[in-house]
A and B are shown apart, each in its own frame.
Chain A
Amino acid sequence: MFEITRYEARSRVKGSLVLTFGVGVFTLLIVGLFPSIAASGVDFEAYVESLPPAFQEGFGVSGAALTTLEGFLSTEVYQFIWLLMLGLYIAYTAGNTVAGDIESGRLDILLAAPVSRTTVLVEKILSLLVPIVLLNLVVPLFVLAGAILIDEPLDFAAIVVVHLLSIPYLLVCAAIGVFLSVALMRADLAQRGSLAAVFLLFLVDTVSAGTDYEWLGTASPTRYFDPTEILVDGTYDVGGAFVLLVAALVLLIVSCKRFQEAEL
């Protein structure tokens, strides 16, 4: 059991460490910027009011929030890096789960071993947890270290909750990639398709916000994970996280069924 996960995970460790370190350093820089921005005395509320509603929604910007470290982080790090960039990264990575192996013929030798297709797919999916878990374990420590360095109060519990609840969100992004990988069986198509899908869903939620078409956004995973809500208002959408987990599971089960039936 888990031989494939172990093998795949090992090949993901290096890239995930580099990514985690990069995001961590970026977060530190953002935290380091905060004192000078807070001290600038700019009227953020007036500035934010002047932005289009979709922009305000998309990056979770709210004037009042920018004056606290948590609010500043939610806009600069979590809405942008976590929701959008990491969502895209995980979906892109997942797009290569089996498609690349099918295309190159590597899967032939693997499936000649006494392992079922389901085992292969599930174990490969599990290896995607390496970047997801590593990022969410390590980056909060960078945030905490930054807050200590600039001597600013920080609701660390809220930060931990954001990271915890981001895992179901990132799992959905991974599931989108896996599904396209199995459905298209071509790595480049599946990877680009995953990027497009996650970005489109993000846009749908953002653009429809505050309009009569707001219901459209219910199809987007971003609707169920809102870092600003957690960090600024202190409310947790546990139900939303549950919806995301179920969605991820359903997508992965459909992918497994499809992979079992696929002609390779």
Chain B
Amino acid sequence: MGAIDVSHLSKHFGDVVAVDDLSFSVEEGEIFGYLGPNGAGKTTTIRTLLGYQKPTAGTARVLGADIRDSGALTRTKAHIGYLPSSPSFDERATGATYLDFHASLKGDERRAELLDMFDPPLGRKIGTYSTGNKQMLGIVQTFMHDPELVIMDEPTAGLDPIKQERFNQFLREERDRGTTIVFSSHILGEVRRVCDRVGFIRDGHLVTLEDIETLLERGGKLVRVNTATPLDPETADLGGVVNFEQADREAQFTFTGDYNELLALLADYDVVDLDVGEPPLEDVFMHYYGESDV
């Protein structure tokens, strides 16, 4: 039995199918990335797993508790940490008062240790916090009772790159201590850096589950290049170039081939600007799974 076992889970809102016949498992002690474009059904899945919404069909077990059994699920929550996307707090309370309150509900044996790493200004009212500070308060709240399973919805939004890297490092350490971590994201690069395994969701369907190595090979990079003279349209024929688009001296494509070949090609041009970055998730889907694959 995994930490989470989802079996034929569906959630409809009237005619809108948010999640459709979803089945997958999250193993104990892994970092599972739940990846999908905005609106794909990630948040709905998470909210259904936590009992905020009832499944239309199918079910899931979270740490052994059936999500349709609200009593069992409530008891199990003593061992779960949850961080919603852009979490909101009681703005009138100070960070310290807020953590005291949640400590009274579920415990806080790791609070001090977490506050060494993530340090929102606890003496101030939460209403005055920046997005990053709120996110840090949320992280402390999520982990302070030493949960077995942590579910996070877009957790790194609002963290600066240094805090984000510290957070990733922290997640790996947590995993090594045996904590199971699930987090959703629409940013491939984020999931790449920390996840052991990834599930893709698109239009409410689970598209694929694959380990991170496969994903790394398939993901590719988005390349934008501006050259003094336009690129030869035949560049599109270079191995690993997909979705080549060109407007005068600007060219854009997804690149999954050998970087050296690309650099050799570009060396023949006067490069004005070059940007190599993460491709939008939607593009990854389009290229590798086709638009109507599901």
Q: Which residues of A contact B (CB under 8 A)?
A: 3-4, 6-7, 11, 104-106, 108-117, 260, 263-264
Name the one of B71, B76, B87, B93 contacting A108, with C-beta atoms under 8 angstroms.
Answer: B87
Name the one of B53, B75, B88 contacting A104, with C-beta atoms under 8 angstroms.
Answer: B88
Closest 8 CB pairs of A and B: A112-B82, A113-B105, A3-B104, A114-B78, A264-B52, A114-B77, A105-B88, A108-B84
Could you give, for residues 39-60 of chain B, a 1 whenever the CB lies within 8 Å of some chain A CB and a 0 otherwise?
0000000010011111000000
Of chain A, the residue at the smallest CB distance from B47 is A264
Contact call B105/A116, Cβ cutoff below 8 A: no
Q: Which residues of B contact A (CB under 8 A)?
A: 47, 50-54, 70-71, 74-78, 80-82, 84, 86-90, 92-93, 101-102, 104-106, 138, 141
Give chain A residues whose Cβ lies under 8 Å from the Cβ of B138. Answer: 109
Counting chain A CB atoms within 10 Å of each CB, the highest count among B82, B90, B138 belongs to B90
Contact call A113/B87, Cβ cutoff below 8 A: no
18 interchain pairs, CB-CB under 8 A: A4-B105, A6-B104, A7-B101, A11-B92, A104-B88, A105-B84, A108-B84, A108-B87, A112-B82, A113-B106, A114-B75, A114-B77, A114-B78, A116-B74, A263-B52, A263-B53, A263-B54, A264-B52
Of chain A, the residue at the smallest CB distance from B141 is A109
B80 → A minimal CB distance (Å):
7
Q: How far is the CA of A116 from the CA of B84 in the complex (A)?
A: 18
Name the one of A4, A11, A109, A263 contacting B84, with C-beta atoms under 8 angstroms.
Answer: A109
Give chain B residues whose Cβ lies under 8 Å from the Cβ of A11. Answer: 90, 92-93
Q: How far is the CA of A253 from the CA of B90 in the complex (A)?
A: 26
Name the one of B47, B54, B76, B89 contacting A109, with C-beta atoms under 8 angstroms.
Answer: B89
Given contacts A106-B89, A112-B77, is CB(A264)–CB(B53) below 8 Å? yes
Of chain A, the residue at the smallest CB distance from B145 is A113
A198 → B minimal CB distance (Å):
26
* Other 15 A-B pairs with CB < 8 A, given A4-B105, A113-B105: A6-B104, A7-B104, A11-B92, A106-B88, A106-B90, A108-B52, A108-B82, A109-B102, A109-B138, A111-B50, A111-B52, A113-B102, A115-B105, A264-B47, A264-B52
Q: How far is the CA of A111 from the CA of B87 in the complex (A)?
A: 13
Give chain A residues whose Cβ lies under 8 Å from the Cβ of B54. Answer: 263
Give chain B residues whose Cβ lies under 8 Å from the Cβ of A116. Answer: 70-71, 74
Give chain A residues whose Cβ lies under 8 Å from the Cβ of B71. Answer: 116
Give chain B residues whose Cβ lies under 8 Å from the Cβ of A260. Answer: 70
Q: How far is the CA of A207 from the CA of B104 in the complex (A)?
A: 50
Give chain A residues whose Cβ lies under 8 Å from the Cβ of B102. Answer: 109, 113
A130 → B minimal CB distance (Å):
15
B85 → A minimal CB distance (Å):
9
A62 → B minimal CB distance (Å):
45
Q: How far is the CA of A106 from the CA of B84 in the complex (A)?
A: 10
Contact call B87/A114, Cβ cutoff below 8 A: no
Contact call B50/A112, Cβ cutoff below 8 A: yes
Contact call B106/A114, Cβ cutoff below 8 A: yes
Q: How far is the CA of A22 from the CA of B104 in the complex (A)?
A: 34
Name the one of B77, B88, B89 contacting A113, with C-beta atoms under 8 angstroms.
Answer: B77
Contact call A105/B87, Cβ cutoff below 8 A: yes
Of chain A, the residue at the smallest CB distance from B79 is A114
Give chain B residues whose Cβ lies under 8 Å from the Cβ of A110. Answer: 105
Q: How far is the CA of A6 from the CA of B141 in the complex (A)?
A: 19
Q: How far is the CA of A115 from the CA of B80 in the complex (A)?
A: 12
Give chain B residues whose Cβ lies under 8 Å from the Cβ of A7. Answer: 101, 104
Q: How far is the CA of A109 from the CA of B90 in the complex (A)?
A: 11
Give chain B residues whose Cβ lies under 8 Å from the Cβ of A111. Answer: 50-52
Of chain A, the residue at the smallest CB distance from B46 is A108
Q: How far is the CA of A59 from the CA of B80 in the complex (A)?
A: 55
Give chain B residues whose Cβ lies under 8 Å from the Cβ of A114. Answer: 74-78, 105-106
A21 → B minimal CB distance (Å):
20
Contact call A109/B82, Cβ cutoff below 8 A: yes
Counting chain A CB atoms within 10 Å of each CB, the highest count among B47, B71, B101 belongs to B101
Q: How far is the CA of A128 from the CA of B86 in the complex (A)?
A: 29
A114 → B minimal CB distance (Å):
4
A14 → B minimal CB distance (Å):
10
Give chain A residues whose Cβ lies under 8 Å from the Cβ of B77. Answer: 112-115
Of chain B, the residue at the smallest CB distance from A264 is B52
Of chain A, the residue at the smallest CB distance from B104 is A3
Name the one of B80, B86, B93 contacting A112, with C-beta atoms under 8 angstroms.
Answer: B80
Q: How far is the CA of A260 from the CA of B77 in the complex (A)?
A: 17
